[in-house]
Chains A and B, each alone.
Chain A
């Protein structure tokens, strides 16, 4: 089955660190760009970070310097290392597969993992 499954979310205090994982199955993971999108409680969708097939990476200004995206193609897994967490980072974090070529869009999403940053 083609799917993405996130894990690693939890409750932590401001300033803490967390590593999210996204396990991919059913498709050739190493041939796709992968992305993290987050959604704060009751809010809309916010693009966070993308890693391309060549391991080039991109970040939103709100997480640049604090978050690091990476991938392990041998394990078909996407990661998001989150440091110096703030209350505003509280959100459901989704991983998504990105179709690239003439157009770019997210065609497969995981169910998300909740990160809560609170003292």
Chain B
């Protein structure tokens, strides 16, 4: 199975900050990488697919980049509604594994 490792595991930031979360795959996955976020008690929500494609309706402050084994999710200017847990997921091969999550908290 492909292992997905996110860093950091948790992050404190302030409204207006620029934030970057990293995801590393244990083997090359080309650009088969998706990002989700999840608020407490809620279902995950798709943000980015194919490493850099913004899902319809997702604000432009979210962006993704990377290919092969190293990927990043960037939030250009944090808004209050962005404080959540973020997950990367590979869809290169089954089983579609997720990263362990990055909890983004208010500083």
Contact = CB atoms under 8 A, between A and B. Distances in A.
A44 B97 CA distance: 11
B95 A45 contact: no
Nearest to B90: A104
A60 B95 contact: yes
B42 A105 contact: no
Interface string B14-39: 00000000000000000110101010
A47 interface: yes
User: Chain A at the B interface: mostly helix, strand, loop or mixed?
Assistant: strand
A44 B99 contact: yes
B98 A46 contact: yes
A79 interface: no
Contacts of A45: 36, 38, 44, 87, 89, 98, 101
Contacts of B49: 99, 103, 105, 107
A106 to B, nearest CB: 6
B84 interface: no
Interface residues of A, number: 21
A53 interface: no
A54 B87 CA distance: 29
B55 A111 contact: no
A27 interface: no
Nearest to A6: B43
Contact of A109 (B45, B55, B95, B96): B45
Interface of B: 31-32, 34, 36, 38, 42-46, 49-50, 53, 55, 87, 89, 91, 94-101
16 contacts: A37-B44, A44-B87, A45-B36, A45-B87, A47-B97, A94-B43, A103-B31, A103-B50, A103-B91, A104-B32, A106-B36, A106-B46, A107-B55, A109-B43, A110-B43, A112-B43
Interface of A: 37, 44-47, 50, 58, 60-61, 94, 99, 102-107, 109-112
